[in-house]
Chain A
Amino acid sequence: MTERSEAVGARRRVALMVTCLVDQLAPEVGVAVVRVLRRQGVQVDFPRAQTCCGQAAWNGGLADEARALAERAIEIFEPYEAVVVPSGSCAGMVHHGYEEIFRDDAAWLARARALAAKTHEFSQYVVSVLGLVDLGAARDGTCAYHPSCHATRLLGLGDEPRRLLEAVRGLRIATLARAEDCCGFGGAFCAKLPELSDAIVGAKVSHLAQSGADTVVSSDVGCLLNIQGACKHRGLPIEALHIAQVLEGRKGGAA
């Protein structure tokens, strides 16, 4: 499988929609995505004009600003044959949010739908497009998987991340109670209602502590930054990693 998989992505070319959060606060996640895809022979482009998909503005009630950013994103990414996003939330924005933004503009809606049709969250791309589950990754330890709300509920991401994690050598997957519960990030929500966000992430952190995991894995950096910050604040030694970072690992131990 490993030998054959070297060629699976050959002749495939994708644009990386890195997301503003990964770009600014977690560039290592973008790096991991690029390396994992390249190992499978996929050629990765990074359109430098990209900034933000417009989700923050849309959810903040700024419809015009969101639309301007969405139009930008469509123009930047539509020339590529496929787009890979290391975020279920931003991929969900392209799939669901753009439908909402452009619902009264047939021309833009058609362009938005064409982009959505070729825009994939990272683990979706690996499992459903490349058809790979075992990427030859290895890691010692126990992880808990936090399915982000937007990945599952807006984008419809299924068991792809879990299947990828199950194939990682040496990695145990802990049972996370109420894994599907929101972590309390919610973009600007955590800054607007910080006490409430804290109460919500508090429940997530205690479920993580009970799970016995040393690492929490997700497909969204927003959730991960939030959970990591809350764990650290509470003195809980749990590492938060994007799934691409786990799949990048070839040796035992933390990357």
Chain B
Amino acid sequence: MSGLGLHDAFLDRARHALGQEHLKQAVRRTTDRLRDGRAAASAEAGAFEAWRDALSEARRRAIGRLDVVLQAWQARAEARGVLVHHAVDAREACDIVVGIARAKGARLAAKGKSMLSEEIELNQALEAACVEALETDLGEWIIQLAGERPSHIILPVVHKPRGEIRELFERHGGEPLSDETRVLAGYARDRLRAEFLRAELGVTGCNMAIAETGSIALFSNEGNGRMVSTLPRTHVALMGVERIVETLADFAHLVRLLPRSATGQRVTTYVNVLSGPARPGELDGPEELHVVVVDAGRTAQLAERDYRDALACVRCGACLNACPVYSAVGGHAYGTVYPGPIGAVIEPLYARDDERRAELAEASSLCGACHEACPVRIPLHDMLVRLRQDNARRGRGGPTALALQRIAARAMAVPFVYDAAGRIARRAARLAAGGGQLGRWALGSAPVLRELLRRRALPDVPIRSFRELWDELEEER
């Protein structure tokens, strides 16, 4: 414990992650691969920066008049037979889905990948209502078998070595398998295919709604999303209330940028734009399409000038891959559904009274790589600073750190105090470097730096500061 954080829960989890060599390697290898993919795709695209501008503008425009845009979308969706529900919070959202499952007498819900489902803990709600919830995205299924949470927004099992996945599948199926991707994916495909046909309910997320056409869109690579939204008689899509653009032209920018930002793909294997249930005479598609529009703390941010832009997020995960903290410790260290820089920003906003989420504002070196990677240019680094200010105002900063920083900041405003403090600190550091008893005492009395100095050699601390050298420097002229 450094005694510097709010609860140091993040630090504890980060330490745990840093102690696991395979996890560290797996996370770094994957984030490197993804950000290299993004870099290559953006370089190849040529107009990448212009696309970012266009998508940023489109998302902010929709967020800026969200009520109007949502109403337009709902009117068109309903005209095509979509059943639209609104949920204020996670509990209401779960109740709505459970209600639909009950009305349909569903015993099995086949699920496509949805972070919103993770956020509202839908699986637990369905299981409590005796409806089996089956994840059909490979990564999500692995997570479900392991009883874990995703550690990445788009790659839920980034933290899991292949061998562990094989063992999970072997326990599940009772037959020996190999570590080969083909074998593991083949096993999952065989097992899951039968379930698609048995499920009465298909549950997916919604990458983006399009107001112009009253549609919802799903991006996926494995094809399970298409199966889940087509085969079961009833399809329920969970949609974050902010996940909407006004026009198909706006949506086209997302089609260009979401895959490229997320994985470096030019396009995902599947991009499905769903505009209603099967019409009379159509062979494919569900009989009923429900969209559950979930707020859960989102619209409250419309009034938050400092954080409103975070609503523009398209959940591509690029900020996770770019973040040195995420790349070092992975997603579970954050202890939240959404990890990484975007998680550190939105998780505290979704639950303003949760002190444990508030401390995530410290989980950043403020390097700005997140902002640089974001397809909609959310200034995440600035938001993290504002969140730190919120924390300080609420007396939530680790009291030691806050007090020390406040003393330092106030000393800085008075030149002679700054000068004197500098002289004393430098002298103490030199003594410490000399290794004398006084030096050890000086170091011991600086607990803030103890942990740091265990991992860094002390710099050669100068006897005189620049301002003490200035007069001599003037004589050089």
Contacts and interface: CB of A to CB of B under 8 A. Distances in A.
Given A189-B365, A190-B452, A49 B465 contact: no
B464 interface: yes
Interface string A36-47: 001000000010
Given A194-B2, A228-B459, A69 B401 contact: no
Contacts of A195: 11, 14-15, 18, 451, 455
Given A24-B426, A233-B455, A61 B389 contact: yes
Given A225-B459, A233-B455, A189 B366 contact: yes
Contact of B410 (A46, A65, A226): A65
A18 B409 CA distance: 17
Interface in A212-230: 225-226, 228-230
Contacts of B391: 61
Contact of B329 (A30, A184, A199, A226): A199
Contacts of A192: 2, 4-5, 362, 398, 401
Contacts of A100: 382, 385
Contacts of A31: 466, 469, 473
B129 to A, nearest CB: 41
Interface string B2-30: 10110000010011001000001000100
Contact of A61 (B28, B397, B422): B397
Interface in B401-418: 401-402, 405-406, 408-410, 412-413, 415, 418
Interface string B456-477: 1111011011111110010011
B183 interface: no
A160 interface: no
Interface of A is mostly: helix
B412 A51 contact: yes
Given A61-B389, A153-B372, A191 B402 contact: no
> Could you say which interface size class chain A belongs to?
35 or more
Given A31-B469, A61-B402, A226-B456, 11 more contacts: A23-B466, A48-B470, A49-B415, A56-B405, A181-B324, A182-B367, A188-B405, A191-B2, A192-B362, A198-B456, A232-B457
B412 A20 contact: yes
Nearest to A190: B452
A62 B459 contact: no
Q: Choose among B390, B410, B465 the residue with the greatest number of A CB atoms under 10 Å from its CB.
A: B465
B343 to A, nearest CB: 16
A188 B18 CA distance: 20
Interface of A: 18, 20, 22-28, 30-31, 34-35, 38, 46, 48-52, 54, 56-63, 65-66, 68-69, 72, 100, 149-150, 153-154, 180-182, 184-200, 203, 225-226, 228-230, 232-233
A149 B365 CA distance: 10
Interface of B is mostly: helix
B273 interface: no
Contact of B466 (A27, A38, A72): A27
A27 B462 contact: yes
Given A30-B466, A48-B470, A186 B412 contact: no
Contact of A186 (B367, B410, B451, B461): B367
Contact of B469 (A27, A66, A233): A27
Contacts of A50: 415
Contacts of A153: 367-369, 371-372
Contacts of B11: 193, 195-196
B192 interface: no
B409 A56 contact: yes
Contact of A229 (B329, B451, B458): B458
Interface string B331-366: 000000000000000000000000000000111111
A62 to B, nearest CB: 5
A46 B438 CA distance: 35
Contact of B406 (A20, A51, A62): A62
B448 interface: yes
Contacts of A35: 476
A68 B412 CA distance: 10
